[in-house]
């Protein structure tokens, strides 16, 4: 989907397109006894529900999203929440962090995009990780295309397969690689039972 299409969606939802609470998997990872990241990067972060929540927990956060409107909404919601997130409007396919800049955790949540784009996000996120860092992804699985309940991007091309992660990140130390159904309750758009993938891995 083009940036202008996403801009239109975010213009219509100034309070948060997917609500203003973090994704449950982000909460679960952050609550793990072995998760101690102090810095985080959220790619395709939208209007920032996840980076804002992580910032409120004390992580120094950076976020990238294609939609300038999403970034502007995110900055306003950050200010209302009393946190600061470095928000960058950019395409994950060509955004590059400054030379040598690294983060201790990278999150790619619900980037619904063609394979080349989602691979670029995951691989760029991996390169941007410090040693010991975490990469965390949740998104609609290809099985969602046949579910017929209106959830997800509708096109098989924009959904994930767990096997992709093995090909994209051959050196990852996998912590979890799960495909299954979960009840989503994230604003009006992500509501109901959905087939998803959840992937978390560390870089050593």
Looking from the CA of 67 toward its CB, the CA atoms found within 13 Å total: 23
Among 37, 105, 106, 113, binds ligand SAM (CB under 6 A): 113
Structure tokens at 117: 């784009």
Cβ atoms of 162 and 179 within 8 Å: the answer is yes
- Judged by CB under 6 A, the residue of 49, 52, 87, 198 near ligand SAM is 49
Instruction: Report the DSSP pairing between strands 173-186 and 190-202.
Output: antiparallel
161-200 footprint of ligand SAM as x/- string (CB under 6 A) = ----------------------------------------
The smaller minimum CB distance to ligand SAM, of residues 111 and 196, is found at 111
Both structure tokens of 191 = 């509501």
The residues facing 69 across adjacent strands are none
Indicate the residue whose CB is closest to ligand SAM: 46
Measured CA to CA, the distance from residue 192 to residue 19 in angstroms comes to 14
45 counts as binding ligand SAM under rule CB under 6 A: yes
Nearest CB to ligand SAM, comparing residues 153 and 170: 153
111 sits near ligand SAM (criterion: CB under 6 A) = yes
CA dist 203 and 190 (Å) reads 30
- Residue of 28, 91, 115, 130 interacting with ligand SAM (CB under 6 A): 91
Q: Is 74 in the site for ligand SAM (CB under 6 A)?
A: no
Number of amino acids touching ligand SAM (CB under 6 A): 22
From CA 199, how far away is CA 1, in angstroms rounded? 23
Q: Applying CB under 6 A, does 51 fall inside the site for ligand SAM?
A: no
- Asked whether 18 and 194 are in contact (CB, 8 A), the reply is no
What is the DSSP secondary structure assignment for residue 98, as one 8-state letter? P
Closer by beta carbon to ligand SAM, 43 or else 201 = 43
Distance CA 95, CA 42 (A): 13
- Tell me whether residue 31 or residue 131 sits nearer to ligand SAM (CB atom): 31
Q: For binding to ligand SAM (CB under 6 A), which residues are involved? A: 6, 18, 23, 44-46, 49-50, 64-67, 70, 91-93, 109-113, 117
């Amino acid at each position: 989907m083009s940036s202008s299409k996403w801009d239109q969606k975010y213009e219509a939802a100034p309070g948060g397109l997917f609500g203003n609470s973090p994704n449950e998997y982000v909460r679960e990872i952050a609550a793990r006894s072995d998760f101690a990241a102090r810095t985080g990067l959220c790619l395709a972060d939208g209007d920032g529900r996840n980076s804002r929540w992580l910032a409120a927990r004390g992580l120094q956060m950076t976020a990238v999203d294609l939609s300038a409107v999403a970034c502007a909404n995110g900055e306003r919601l950050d200010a209302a929440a009393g946190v600061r997130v470095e928000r960058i409007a950019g395409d994950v396919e060509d955004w590059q962090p400054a030379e040598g800049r690294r983060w201790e955790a990278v999150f790619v949540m619900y980037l619904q995009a063609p394979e080349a784009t989602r691979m670029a996000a995951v691989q760029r996120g991996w390169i941007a990780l410090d040693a010991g860092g975490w990469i965390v992804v949740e998104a609609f699985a290809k099985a969602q295309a046949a579910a017929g309940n209106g959830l997800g991007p509708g096109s098989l091309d924009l959904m994930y397969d767990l096997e992709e992660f093995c090909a994209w990140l051959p050196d990852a130390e996998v912590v979890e690689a799960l495909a299954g159904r979960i009840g989503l309750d994230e604003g009006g758009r992500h509501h109901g039972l959905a087939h998803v993938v959840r992937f978390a891995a560390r870089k050593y």
